[in-house]
Amino acid sequence: MRPLEILTIILIAGSITALITHKERKIYLYLLFATILAILLQHFYEGNRWQFAFAIYLLPASYVCHRFQEKVINSITKIILVAWLAFAFIIPWAVPVFSLPEPGGNFDVGTNTFHWVDSTRLEWFTNEDPDDLRQTMVQVWFPGKNQPDNEPEPYLDNRKMHCPRGRVMGGSSSINGMVYVRGHAKDFDEWEGLGAEGWSYQECLPYFKRCETWHKGENDYRGGKGPLSTSNGNNMKLNPLYKAFINAGKEAGYPETPDYNGKQQEGFGPMHMTVGNGVRSSTSNAYIKPAKNRSNLKILTGVLVEKIILENKKATGIEYSINGEKKILKAKREIILSAGSIGSPQILQLSGIGPKSVLSNAGIEILHELPGVGENLQDHLEVYFQYHCKKPITLNSKLNLFNKGLIGIQWILAKTGLGATNHFESCGFIRSRAGIQWPNIQYHFLPAAMRYDGNAAMKGHGYQVHAGVNKVSSRGSIKIKNSDPSAKPSIIFNYLKTDQDRQDWRDCIRLTREILSQPALDEFNGGEANPGMEIESDEQIDSWVRANVESAYHPSCSCKMGSSNDPMTVVNNVGQVIGIDSLRVIDSSVFPTIPNGNLNGPTIMLAEKMADAVLGKAPLKPLDLDVWIDSSWKKLQRLAKPKREIISD
């Protein structure tokens, strides 16, 4: 914290104490004046910071209390005043999710509130423990002068794309949108086919089950005793648009699925999230918090890992810096690298493990040539279809301060309501064309039309669908630029490089528009606002997608798992780095290909499965269960013709 921040907190706390405990009101007034002065100084020297939200509620409330106490002072009054001040203290942190970030404003994720300080720093205030109202401030890497920054993407009009990472306990699971998608069964069969032995769906399924506690209880496909809580938020009960979207998908000729994480992914149905009892279920809450007091675990924060120490092709320790001081940790058994799809290849390359050309150009001694490190990079893109809504039922009416406060109070008191969900409560998975066996397009439905800055995208009410192509053929890379561990690597995804990816996006735009034009949405559909019906031809769609598509923040596959016969393989099927003893990589970087869905679920599953390998345990017994595949997939794109067909030129 900065000095004026600390001073503001102290002065506010002092003024409240003086208000409650002292009969002499001059002390309170002096402190109130000093607090206002400190806030003004802070605003002048440091900009608009989180204390302003604090002050908007707290200082006026305390002054009213001061005036009230001049007339009536007794124990009952004091109780009322303390309750009032407590309410004023808590409410700035009780703001629900409505949007994604853009520098310069606030955005909200579940019970978490974020604030952009500038293009390179993000403050995060969260209630990780429902019984503890402590605030935690972390920094997250986003593009900027001090952030990992994509190179200009050549097939996206040379745009630079955001590439965030969760630099906080629990990693990106602590800052993500809490969407829980395992991926399609065929994604994991694909892994095995690419050389990742033991990673078929039947072999992964028992680990998916072991991870989770599904709110509807355990069944053949879902777990009921795991650390990760999964649910459907409010079960689509608080807004009719959720089910209308599902019905529109069915009217467009697609199947309905009761559980896309179970037997059947393809189709439309309720969407699941890592939320339990209204609280985010991050890996920090689910795994780290229960284990953090173990005698054999020591957690270090504020650490920059600079490299892995190698001795004769064996990992023996790590070199790291903390508070500007370099230190070395020696490993008794082995080192497990879990720095994510950006950090893991970066650390390997800094350690002299990677492609010869990359290491040479960065001035790094080549200790072990491994061409696949940093290659095979994949990500998901998405766009936002936005429609005007004819009925005043969307979340756009909940953006004002009063409604946010009410939502926050309900969440604080009962962990229910709009603050207990990520608001993505219905979804869809479809195939873009005949001849592909499993879905390659994903939909998240949101009963609001929002901009990245958290404000409404239009006057009045609206709703939107997040649409994205999930099975991509374009490949990118991560390459260090020099030997400085604090320098950010060069990142390029080559989004939309291939003809197939571009065609998939044309299909995605047209199919999405057709779904959202079905009769089930007629009573709500006030017209397409974005992209707009004028965006119709291949050329127009291509141009609009290049200009508007955004990363879904799913970087992966940069240290791929596979067969030792594949020269681009980085790790074997238990995460061990090829050619290096006592070193494993266990995170989403080892995915051979990107799954059909959000990455949090499969990443946790992978960690559970590889944990057994680290401990020398036999893998769990495979589960021989059926998976639904459309029997007509070779000839048909969907089950039936749409009720209302949209004709394109």
Q: Strand, coil or helix: what is 509?
A: helix
> Residues near 335 by Cβ (< 8 Å), separated by ≥ 6?
308, 315, 317, 318, 582, 583, 584
In whole angstroms, what is the distance from residue 45 CA to residue 40 CA? 9
Q: With CA atoms as reference, report the closest residue to 87 among 416, 415, 408, 419.
A: 408
Measured CA to CA, the distance from residue 97 to residue 110 in angstroms comes to 5
Task: Read off the tokens for 95.
Answer: 């703001």
Q: What are phi and psi of 584, to 5 degrees?
A: -125, 155
421 CB-near residues (< 8 Å, 6+ apart): 97, 110, 233, 234, 273, 275
Q: What is the DSSP secondary structure assignment for residue 284, as one 8-state letter?
A: I
Q: Which of 115, 388, 461, 554 is catalytic?
A: 554
User: DSSP readout, 443-461?
Assistant: EEEESS-B-TTSSBSSSS-
**Residue with the two structure tokens 């994480």:** 261
Q: Which two tokens stand for residue 348?
A: 């390997």
Helix, coil or strand: residue 416: coil
Q: Where are the beta strands (DSSP E) in 45-191?
A: 106-109, 112-118, 121-125, 149-150
What is the gyration radius of the CA atoms in the chain, in angstroms? 26
Is 554 marked active-site?
yes
> In the structure encoding, which two tokens stand for residue 187, read together?
């994604």
Read off the DSSP letter of residue 257: -
Q: Please give the positions annotated as active site.
A: 554
